[in-house]
Structure 1
Amino acid sequence: MSLFALDRSALGRTLAEESAAPTQPIVISTWDFGIPANQAAWKILNNGGRALDAVEAGARVPEVDLNNHSVGRAGYPDRDGHVTLDACIMDEQGNCGAVAALEYIDHPISVARLVMEKTPHVFLVGEGAMQFALENGFKKTKLLTPESEKAWKEWLKDAKYKPTINVENKLYQPVDKLPGNKFNHDTIGMLALDAQGNLSGACTTSGMAFKMRGRVGDSPIIGAGLYVDNEVGGATSTGVGEEVIRNVGSFLVVELMRQGYSPEAACKAAVDRIINKKPAKAKEIQVGFLALNKKGEYGAYAIQSGFSYAVCNGQKQDLLLKSKSTY
């Protein structure tokens, strides 16, 4: 037997041993409100459940949290007073589904999953997405809450839009107690690795507060707000979606991990690309990326300081970390 054959045999044994090693489940998500979302996902992961089921269950938590004005039914409306929701989901096999500009349905992440599993399509929008949801048993619900309506009417006095960086961390304060320009948007992006070693991700949002009617950001766009490759890892984004879309940010992060970058280094490289293209604009906006690789390693990076992300695993279920940043 040649030396080359011996080397290949040794390598084969090593790979077999590695593949047989148990995977430690983990779920990570963006922002402080990722903690309760992660805990819901963990109930599934900790029982040996599938990562896809975990991220859907986790994303559903902020979707119905009436204190959260950047995700789900309590989200701020567009400038015409309509609450429209966006979401996408992706599994370990590369299957994906998404909805955008969805009205009157309070769990867009579950509708997105049905698009993935029950249709030949990836993306449904607007009235078509709502019709599909109703046909599949979802109930029509008024999404504009009294608090969100009050905030919208206050905004109408000046009708100016300028996002406040990292206002997401203040979402649990009463509307009239927030400093300065208190209206903003954001999302929850979730990534999970299950005990079988499979990855899935989910992303859901009510989008930019007081956006133009019909505006869709990065959150429901596969490759922008979310991307999962079961051979490599997954990534999700937060912040001003237009800049994420222009750089196909989450796909970029995953491809950099494929090249050997750590999750944090891949996130930083994606942020650097945004900054280098528009350095002056980048100083006024927030974009952050969060990534999880196949080994269960995770990391994040943002343009501005203050981006937080939640981590949940067998050691700790309520860990909250701050990402590194350029500014």
Structure 2
Amino acid sequence: MRDNKHRLDVVQAMCRYCEEKQCDGSVGYGSHPDTDGHVTLDAMVMDGPGVRVGSVGALYGVRNAIGVARAVMEHTRHSLLVGSGAKRFARMMGFEKKSTETSASTGQFLDWMDKRCQPNFYINMQGNAQQWSCGPYTPNQPSANSLEQILSIVATDLTVAEDKPEETRDVAVSGHDTIAAITLDAEGHLACATTTNGPGHKVAGRVGDSPIAGSGCYVEEGAGGAGATGDGDVMLRFLPSFHAVQLMKHGASPTEACEQALKKIGHVYPDFSGGMVCVNKQGEIGAASHNMNFQYTTATLGDEDPTVVHVPNLLSAMELLEAH
């Protein structure tokens, strides 16, 4: 912000950079096609003063998702536009019409089809067909009186980590699964933004946590800001960024807020992967990760270069404490 840029311009520029550079293949066009072979984008921008939000979900045919999200905030009374409607709005706002698919994303989709559409995000289909073939699938239909079947479905969704192979997702230096950016300006005002193309082979039409205020990121004047990345379908159920900001509002340090927000999710879904960054109103920064190798970058006025910070895995830290 050394060039007197507005806080929204800063978070938008950070997200736009990664959209153009296709950071880690998980942001921007040309990667992570859905089950129809389309690449769709989710993005959000939030401004602390006035609690203003603009976001897009399942956007296609326009590559500047973060720009469209800001246009939603500044030129509509809505907070979220999705799919074809978001695309038409983007064109009306003058954004360039450009395919979000490339030969690389088409290759990813065809390779997935050749592997019988494995892996995918479907569950509870007849004969477990989602595990060995491409769709369309037929859903299981438990009878109204079949409590055992219903409990079986619930148990499948809540299987604890001990019953599954241990998984840790590496996040490359070039980017995270979702880019979340937070700024605190000289006047103490906050803004945040997110952008992502979501997980590869997601069910067509899926919108993740990134464009949802309180999940992908959240800021509150006089309290702080938070941003999250990881298993968005799980994290969305807990609004971790909102939760972390409320914890800071009531006295928690940024690190404590991030850790507690992730632990709340881990209590229900112990094998989920996620990482968070939190900034309080004083500009202090903290972070935490759960079952995930995670890092974030910081920069303040006067810094020659940004600083990359590696965050210890919260699960590993807990295991060390238990060992002693």
Q: Is the TM-score greater than 0.5?
A: yes
Q: 1:167/1:257 Cα in 2 relative to 1: closer, same or farther (>3 Å)?
A: same
Distance 1:121 1:103 in 2: 19
Q: 1:188/1:56 Cα in 2 relative to 1: closer, same or farther (>3 Å)?
A: same
> Contact (CA 8 Å) 2:299, 2:306: kept in 1 or not?
yes
Matching residue's letter, 1:324: P
Q: Identity percentage over the alignment?
A: 39
User: Which residue number in structure 1 is paired with residue 118 of structure 2?
Assistant: 160
How far did residue 316 of structure 1 move? 4.6
How far did residue 298 of structure 1 move? 0.7
Q: 1:186/1:257 Cα in 2 relative to 1: closer, same or farther (>3 Å)?
A: same
> Contact (CA 8 Å) 2:31, 2:39: kept in 1 or not?
yes
Distance 2:244 2:23 in 1: 31
Is residue 53 of structure 1 aligned with residue 9 of structure 2?
yes
**Which of 160, 167, 172 in structure 2 is aligned with 1:169?**
172
> Contact (CA 8 Å) 1:67, 1:74: kept in 2 or not?
no
How far did residue 67 of structure 1 move? 5.8
**Which of 255, 263, 271 in structure 2 is aligned with 1:272?**
263
Is residue 218 of structure 1 aligned with residue 218 of structure 2?
no
Correspondence 1:65-104 to 2 at 5 A: 65-66=21-22, 68-93=24-49, 94-104=51-61
How far did residue 65 of structure 1 move? 1.2
SS at match of 1:169: coil
1:148-202 alpha-carbon deviations (Å, 9 max, x no partner): 2222222222222279743431779xxxxxxxxxxxx821000011122211000
Q: Which runs of 5+ in 2 are unaligned?
A: 122-166, 316-324
Correspondence 1:1-327 to 2 at 5 A: 45-66=1-22, 68-93=24-49, 94-158=51-115, 159-161=117-119, 165-169=168-172, 186-279=177-270, 282=271, 285-313=272-300, 314-327=302-315
How far did residue 243 of structure 1 move? 1.6
Distance 1:48 1:319 in 2: 21
How far did residue 278 of structure 1 move? 2.5
For CA contacts below 8 A with separation 6 or more, give which structure has more relative contact order: 1
Distance 1:170 1:310 in 2: 10
How far did residue 231 of structure 1 move? 1.2
1:290-320 alpha-carbon deviations (Å, 9 max, x no partner): 1111111111101124111111122353311
Q: Which runs of 5+ in 1 are unaligned?
A: 1-44, 173-184
Q: TM-score, normalised by structure 2?
A: 0.78
Q: Tell me the matched-pair count.
A: 267
SS at match of 2:25: coil
Distance 2:196 2:306 in 1: 22
Q: 1:147/1:239 Cα in 2 relative to 1: closer, same or farther (>3 Å)?
A: same
How far did residue 226 of structure 1 move? 1.1
How far did residue 88 of structure 1 move? 0.5
SS at match of 1:82: coil
- Give structure 1 regions of 4+ aligned residues with deviation exceeding 6 angstroms: none
How far did residue 57 of structure 1 move? 1.0
Q: 1:305/1:84 Cα in 2 relative to 1: closer, same or farther (>3 Å)?
A: closer
Q: Out of 48-57 and 111-120, give the one that drifted further.
A: 48-57
How far did residue 83 of structure 1 move? 0.6
Distance 1:168 1:103 in 2: 25
Distance 1:68 1:60 in 2: 14
> Contact (CA 8 Å) 1:192, 1:199: kept in 2 or not?
yes
Q: 1:49/1:228 Cα in 2 relative to 1: closer, same or farther (>3 Å)?
A: same
Matching residue's letter, 1:71: V
Kindly report the root-mean-square deviation, in angstroms, between the aligned alpha carbons of the 2 structures. Answer: 1.9
1:42-92 alpha-carbon deviations (Å, 9 max, x no partner): xxx112222111001111001111464101113321021101000010012
> Contact (CA 8 Å) 1:311, 1:317: kept in 2 or not?
no
Distance 2:92 2:230 in 1: 33
